[in-house]
Amino acid sequence: MRQSLAFILMISLAGLQFLAILIVVFTTFVTSERAMLKHALGLMSQAGNNATEHTRLFLKPAQDLAKQATGMLTSGIIDANDHDALEQLLFQQVLSEPQVAGVYYGDEAGNFVYLMRSDGPGPVRTKIISHEDGGRSTEFVWRNTAFELVSEAIDPSDRFDPRKRPWYQSAASAKQPVWTDPYVFFSSRRPGITAAVPVILSDGTLQGVVGVDIELDAISQFLSELTISAGSTALILNENGEVIAHPASDQIVVQNEDKTIRFVGINEINDPVANAAFGKLAQSGPLAITGEVRSELEHDKESYLTLLAPIKGHDLPWTIAIHAPENDFVQGIKDNRRRNIWIAAIISLVTAIAGLMLAEVILRPVRAFAVRTSLVSQGEVSADTPLPKTYQELKRANETLIHEISQRRESEKRQRDLSRQLFHFSRVDMMGQLATGLAHELSQPITAITQNVDAAISTAAKMKDINPELMQILSELDDQAHRGGDIIAALRGLVRKDEGQFVAFEFEDLLDQSLKIVQHEADINSVQLVKSNVTQHQVLANRVQIAQVLINLMHNAIEAMTMAKTQSREILISARPQNSFLEVWVEDSGPGVAPDQPLFRHFETSKTDGMGFGLSISKTIIEANGGHLWYDHESRNTSRFCFTLPLLSTGLES
Ligand code: ADP
């Protein structure tokens, strides 16, 4: 009981605690994870907008510069054929914005004035291709930031023709400002984009095209600085699914076999997450995103958030793509969850120990109660003894239990009385039947013997010269015949309980009768029956029953001495008044009752053919006659059974 209750308490407390904390941890985790992911997608969307805005601000000046130059050329403020003036205008423009890599003007005649930032002898290099008098010259000039000449050179081998370049052709055919597709610049070999604006005269003829170059590395640089999370990457794709800007800017161009240079496709770039997230989009035709597309991706056992958004406002069919590991946003709360589970486990352990201690405290009175109950049931503690300080519930349970126990003991006592009665009656009944049969069989021949002996005596008395020895024999025969009759009568009286009434009688007379019955058994076993110190005392009892007890005790004594082969065999019967009782002792010189021999209990016998009924029946009889029967354990070298009988009141006795 102790273990199971303690265990249940411990497990219940710890289990409930653990469950409760887990529920809190997991619900908190799920809600905060959802909130974090939502927040993360918001961050990504914001980053997408940033990138779009940045790109727009980055590209706008290029178009503005191209339009400004075109305006000056069409209005005649600058003469397109005045290469010096043109160079001065473009010089100012190329230095005006840091992202501008080069500014140029090419015309229908193939003339070309091109200013670009340079790593050469001066920070700005001018390339001028002129066609004069049917000849062509290509001249290079390097200037410092104050437009002072630093160095100059000519290149007779130059074959560059502006009219064949993509920027010129797209602006010329569109007849309006355009953005070229990203391409690799002729001079710097870097990927870039050109804002090209056609110079159209008032009569509608095309005079030339102004172009402003922007190198895309700068956008890549910006993207690499755009921090959304530790592991996030943002890139820009064109409508062909080619990567035109990526934090790893050196990876976005590759050389074809024919030495030409091209952008890598989204499937080719060394960015496995981008390949997995956006690769399929590029395979299904031109990439055309009209609005923001958010999604999630499982890659290499990790979860990623992805976002695609169009770059609006520039007629550029570009798309910004962002991917970021989910853990960048939720790792913190995952760590927190793990920490919380540990805390839950520790708290549960502490709770379990507390539960165990609590169970101990709760069970202590319960155990005390159980011990007390068992002591009460064994009769070692009275049920009335106040219950030790304990719980109210236990007190009530105790009262109920005590009630049950006392009822059970009462009914057990009633187990026992009934059973004793039954044994008694069965034995008495059996002996009664035997004795009745015997008495019936013997009474007739004994009566015949008595009558014949009486007749023989009276006949002999009338004879003369009767031999006195014969008369003596006849007289003894008469005595014995009468004694036999008495025995038969006593036997019949002895065994028929219902026949016996409580009567006053001389104890010694009854003892003499009983001695007669056992005398024969005593003789053949060489036992001497000695009556000692028995004076006349009147007792009030059932005669035959008391005789039965005396015979039982003497019979037991004869058997004990015979079995133990005792040398001197003697049974001493004495009787003395004690207060209002006569106390009778039946002592023998036998071995005494073995210390481990239970007495006065049915079936407890040391004899192979014994039944263990004699003493218990005797005790029942004596008690039914108002006395007690016991074995005197104090007696040394003898076994002494004692019983008492109520004396007839002294008034009567006197
Ligand atoms: P039973 O005679 O059938 O054994 P009893 O109830 O008369 O049944 O006796 C019970 C036991 O008590 C006997 O078996 C014997 O061991 C013991 N006992 C009784 N009287 C004596 C005696 N006088 N001396 C020694 N042992 C005795």
CA distance 482 to 494: 18
Position in ligand 1 atom list of the atom nearest CA 617:
6
C-alpha angle 210-243-312 in degrees, rounded to nearest 5? 60
- Give the chain's length: 654
CA–centroid distance, 502 to ligand 1, in Å, is 28
C-alpha angle 66-71-76 in degrees, rounded to nearest 5? 130
Confidence of residue 651 (pLDDT cuts 50, 70, 90): very low
Mean pLDDT of the chain: 84
Domain span holding position 250: 218-325
Average pLDDT value for residue range 304-320: 83
Cβ atoms of 224 and 115 within 8 Å: the answer is no
Instruction: Check pocket membership of 102 for ligand 1, CB cut-off 6 A.
Output: no
Nearest Cα residue to atom 19 of ligand 1: 556
pLDDT tens-digit profile of 443-487? 788 888 988 998 898 888 888 888 888 889 988 898 888 878 877
Instruction: Check pocket membership of 605 for ligand 1, CB cut-off 6 A.
Output: yes
Residue 22's contacts (CB-CB under 8 Å, 6 or more residues apart) are 341, 344
Half-sphere exposure of 318 (CA within 13 A, CB side): 28
Torsion of CA 494, 495, 498, 501, to 10 degrees: 10
Instruction: Check pocket membership of 601 for ligand 1, CB cut-off 6 A.
Output: no
For 55, counting Cβ atoms within 10 Å of its Cβ (0-12 exposed, 13-18 middle, 19+ buried), the class is buried
Does the pTM exceed 0.75? no
pLDDT tens-digit profile of 87-116? 999 999 999 988 898 999 999 999 999 999
CA–centroid distance, 606 to ligand 1, in Å, is 7
Instruction: Check pocket membership of 610 for ligand 1, CB cut-off 6 A.
Output: yes
Residue 66's contacts (CB-CB under 8 Å, 6 or more residues apart) are 103, 177, 195, 196, 197, 210, 211, 212
Q: How far is residue 36 CA from its own chain's centroid?
A: 33
CA–centroid distance, 491 to ligand 1, in Å, is 22
Instruction: Check pocket membership of 557 for ligand 1, CB cut-off 6 A.
Output: yes
* 643 located within any domain: yes
- Full 3-state SS string of 574-608: EEEEECCEEEEEEEECCCCCCCCCCCCCCCCCCCC
What H or E segment, with its residue span, contains residue 202?
none
Of 306, 325, 344, which residue constitutes the final position of a domain?
Answer: 325
Cβ atoms of 261 and 184 within 8 Å: the answer is yes
Tokens standing for residue 35: 């909130």
Q: Nearest CA to 102 among 68, 146, 65, 73?
A: 65
Tokens standing for residue 223: 């993207």
CA–centroid distance, 391 to ligand 1, in Å, is 52
CA–centroid distance, 610 to ligand 1, in Å, is 8
Q: Are strands 178-179 and 502-506 parallel, antiparallel or unpaired?
A: unpaired
For residue 410, pLDDT over 60 is answered with yes
CA–centroid distance, 556 to ligand 1, in Å, is 6
What H or E segment, with its residue span, contains residue 15?
helix 2-75
Percentage of residues of the chain with pLDDT beyond 70? 91
What sign has the CA pseudo-torsion 505, 509, 515, 520? negative
Give residue 352's identity as a one-letter amino acid code: A
What pLDDT score was predicted for residue 652?
43
* 550 located within any domain: yes
What pLDDT score was predicted for residue 413?
75
Nearest Cα residue to atom 17 of ligand 1: 593
Position in ligand 1 atom list of the atom nearest CA 615:
6
User: How many domains would you assign to the chain?
Assistant: 2
Average pLDDT value for residue range 429-449: 73
Cβ atoms of 632 and 641 within 8 Å: the answer is yes
For 215, counting Cβ atoms within 10 Å of its Cβ (0-12 exposed, 13-18 middle, 19+ buried), the class is buried
Nearest Cα residue to atom 22 of ligand 1: 557
Confidence of residue 252 (pLDDT cuts 50, 70, 90): confident
Nearest Cα residue to atom 23 of ligand 1: 557
Cβ atoms of 572 and 585 within 8 Å: the answer is yes
Nearest Cα residue to atom 26 of ligand 1: 593
What pLDDT score was predicted for residue 424?
57
Lowest mean pLDDT among 209-213, 268-272, 276-280, 332-336: 332-336
* 487 located within any domain: yes
Nearest Cα residue to atom 18 of ligand 1: 593
Instruction: Check pocket membership of 233 for ligand 1, CB cut-off 6 A.
Output: no
Q: Could you tell which of 431, 548, 556 is best to mutate to test the pocket of ligand 1, judged by most ligand atoms within 8 Å of the CB?
A: 556
Instruction: Check pocket membership of 590 for ligand 1, CB cut-off 6 A.
Output: yes
* 365 located within any domain: no
Nearest Cα residue to atom 25 of ligand 1: 593
Average pLDDT value for residue range 53-80: 88
What pLDDT score was predicted for residue 207?
94
Instruction: Check pocket membership of 215 for ligand 1, CB cut-off 6 A.
Output: no
pLDDT tens-digit profile of 339-390? 888 888 888 888 778 877 887 887 777 777 778 777 877 777 776 776 666 5
CA–centroid distance, 505 to ligand 1, in Å, is 28
Instruction: Check pocket membership of 618 for ligand 1, CB cut-off 6 A.
Output: no
CA–centroid distance, 368 to ligand 1, in Å, is 43
CA–centroid distance, 328 to ligand 1, in Å, is 98
Instruction: Check pocket membership of 611 for ligand 1, CB cut-off 6 A.
Output: yes
Instruction: Check pocket membership of 293 for ligand 1, CB cut-off 6 A.
Output: no
* 232 located within any domain: yes
What CATH number should be reported for the domain holding residue 617?
3.30.565.10
Position in ligand 1 atom list of the atom nearest CA 614:
7
Instruction: Give the CA distances from residue 390 to residues 315, 398, 527, in Å, rounded to whole numbers and listed in that order.
Output: 90, 11, 66
* 494 located within any domain: yes
For residue 196, pLDDT over 90 is answered with yes
Average pLDDT value for residue range 326-348: 83
* 8-state DSSP, 181: P
CA–centroid distance, 554 to ligand 1, in Å, is 11
Q: How far is residue 412 CA from its own chain's centroid?
A: 46
Instruction: Check pocket membership of 484 for ligand 1, CB cut-off 6 A.
Output: no
* 84 located within any domain: no
Instruction: Check pocket membership of 589 for ligand 1, CB cut-off 6 A.
Output: no
Three-class SS state of 566? coil
What CATH number should be reported for the domain holding residue 265?
3.30.450
Nearest Cα residue to atom 13 of ligand 1: 605
Name the residue with higher pLDDT: 202 or 378.
202
Instruction: Check pocket membership of 612 for ligand 1, CB cut-off 6 A.
Output: yes
Cβ atoms of 502 and 466 within 8 Å: the answer is no
CA–centroid distance, 645 to ligand 1, in Å, is 22
Of 277, 297, 325, which residue constitutes the final position of a domain?
Answer: 325
Position in ligand 1 atom list of the atom nearest CA 556:
20
CA distance 112 to 109: 9
CB neighbourhood size of 520 (10 A)? 10
Instruction: Check pocket membership of 560 for ligand 1, CB cut-off 6 A.
Output: yes
Name the residue with higher pLDDT: 387 or 148.
148
Of 325, 348, 368, which residue constitutes the final position of a domain?
Answer: 325
* 580 located within any domain: yes
Instruction: Output the DSSP codes for 151-175.
Output: EEEE-TT----GGGSHHHHHHHHHT
Nearest Cα residue to atom 9 of ligand 1: 612
Residue 392's contacts (CB-CB under 8 Å, 6 or more residues apart) are none
CA distance 83 to 87: 6
pLDDT tens-digit profile of 484-529? 887 777 666 655 544 557 888 899 988 988 888 888 889 999 999 9
What pLDDT score was predicted for residue 427?
61
Q: Nearest CA to 638 among 598, 571, 600, 587?
A: 587
Give residue 431's identity as a one-letter amino acid code: M
CA distance 441 to 577: 40
- Full 3-state SS string of 456-513: HHHHHHHCCCCCHHHHHHHHHHHHHHHHHHHHHHHHHHHHCHHHCCEEEEEHHHHHHH
